[in-house]
Amino acid sequence: MGTTTLSEAYRDHPLHLRHIIPLDFGSTPTVPESHVWPHSDGFSSADISGDLPVVDMRDPDAAELMGRACETWGAFQLMGHGIPMKLIEEVELEARRLFGLPAEQKLKALRSPGGATGYGVARITPFFTKYMWHEGFTIMGSPIDHARELWPHGYQQFCETMESYQKQMKLLADDVMRIMLKSLNISEQELSWLANKNLNQYHTTTAPCTALQLNSYPSCPDPNRAMGLAPHTDTFLLTVLHQTAHIDGLQISKEAGPTGSTWVPVRPANGALVVNVGDLFQILSNGRFTSVVHRVVVNQTRRQRFSVAYFYGPPADFAVSPLLSSGQQDQVVVPRYRSVTVKEYVGIKAKNLDKALSLIKI
């Protein structure tokens, strides 16, 4: 099979321009009807079982703690991750610089209808009748082409910062992935692309699919009527998220007994990154880990909020299927999902946002 990139996977499912161009939030004194969400969506939240678990990577019991968090919450806050706070602050500073540009300038880096990178609204936009109070910028590898459009004579700092952050995130995601596999008693040798620990030996066919997403949730004149990011699950194996300190917004859906589910706020812990399970890890774990439904509400402080999400998945041609733990080799374990390549699953989800996992269930 020939080399497949994530960009090619998205190119097969182009979007209409109306589902790409963000609102000019800076010149919008009121929330337009196109961005007003019905109150029935219930923006309220409640703490039901304490806060999201916090796991320190240096803890000898990190694997067990991560596994428990992924089974019960589908997410956890990660401490001891080794990413320098200075680098995280520089990434947020560059994101502020980007989203602070005039609207007409940002549109010079607009994501193309069949593109995967650049400036635009969330890819989940076409599945909803209302637009979200959000603008984003997607990076895969070097952002130099789009950065040159934004800053013809001052793009180097942005590019160097984003490339450095992606390299650090890649190493961290590899390590988190290995620990999470350990919690399932699954050998990393089962995943050829992960077993190769030498970054310099990656080939295009074996390199993981990754993307960096810069998010801006602008100040909103009427937060109770808008939605930052509608409920969804992430597609890949896992997402590593940095969010602005002291500004709430991210919420995850948690089962609350017979009454159904409720939204639990994920308050930024000092120095922590949020790790959440994606669809492909739910498949890989045969449903033991839950791909968590999450959303972003517009914060009541009317302050602009930023987040930086790193999406991590297998190579696009890799076939993802449930893996047996070392203790299950002699047991009869029924796979709950059929095998699916990353590219195929991206295509399924591009057409069926909230039904993709159910469509590959056995």
The CATH number for 240's domain is: 2.60.120.330
The mean pLDDT of 237-261, rounded to a whole number, is 84
Is pLDDT of 41 > 80? no
Kindly give the pairing relationship between strand 118-120 and strand 135-139.
antiparallel
Q: Is residue 339 part of a domain?
A: yes
pLDDT at 32: 96
Per-residue confidence (pLDDT) for residue 204, from 0 to 100: 44
Q: Sheet holding 294-297: strands in order across?
A: 227-232, 294-297, 250-255, 261-265
For residue 49, pLDDT over 90 is answered with no
Please state, in angstroms and rounded to a whole number, the distance separating the CA atoms of residues 202 and 350: 28
- Average pLDDT of the chain, as a whole number: 88
Which residues have C-beta within 8 Å of that of residue 206, sequence separation ≥ 6? 192, 193, 196, 315
Tokens of 274: 């949020």
Q: Is the pTM here over 0.75, yes or no?
A: yes
Domains in the chain, number: 1
Residue 71 lies in a domain: yes
pLDDT digits (tens, 9 = 90+) for 172-196: 999 999 999 999 998 877 777 676 5
> Is the predicted pLDDT of residue 50 greater than 70, yes or no?
no
Using the predicted structure, report yes or no on whether residue 203 has a pLDDT greater than 60.
no
Output the six-digit token pair for 109: 């880096």
- Note down the domain range covering 311: 6-39+55-189+209-360
pLDDT for 3 equals: 41
Buried b (16+ CB within 10 A) or exposed e, 31-58: beeebbbeeeeebebeeeeeebbebebe
pLDDT score, position 328: 55
The pLDDT confidence band at residue 199, using thresholds 50, 70 and 90, is very low
pLDDT score recorded for residue 90: 98
Residue 322: per-residue pLDDT: 93
In a domain, 195, yes or no: no
Give 78 or 259, the one with higher predicted confidence: 78
Residue 198 lies in a domain: no
- Percent of the chain, pLDDT > 70? 87
> Is residue 49 a contact partner of residue 240, using CB atoms and an 8 Å limit?
no
- Flag whether 199 is in a domain: no
Higher pLDDT, 61 or 49: 61
**What's the number of CA atoms in the CB half-sphere (13 Å) around residue 9?**
22
Active-site annotation holds for 305? yes
Continuous segment of H or E residues that includes residue 71: helix 62-72
Residue 163 host element (H or E): helix 156-183
Q: Is 194 inside any structural domain?
A: no
Instruction: State the pLDDT confidence band at 34, using cuts at 50, 70 and 90.
Output: very high
- Contact residues for 2 (Cβ-Cβ < 8 A; gap 6+): none
User: Stretch 93-100: mean pLDDT, rounded?
Assistant: 97
Contact 324, 350 (CB under 8 A): no
Q: Which of 111, 295, 305, 338 is catalytic?
A: 305
Strands 209-217 and 135-139: antiparallel
Encode pLDDT of 273-322 as tens digits.
Answer: 999 999 999 999 999 999 999 999 998 877 899 999 999 999 989 999 99
Q: Is residue 196 in a domain?
A: no
Say if residues 102 and 114 touch (Cβ distance below 8 Å): no
> Does residue 202 belong to any structural domain of this protein?
no
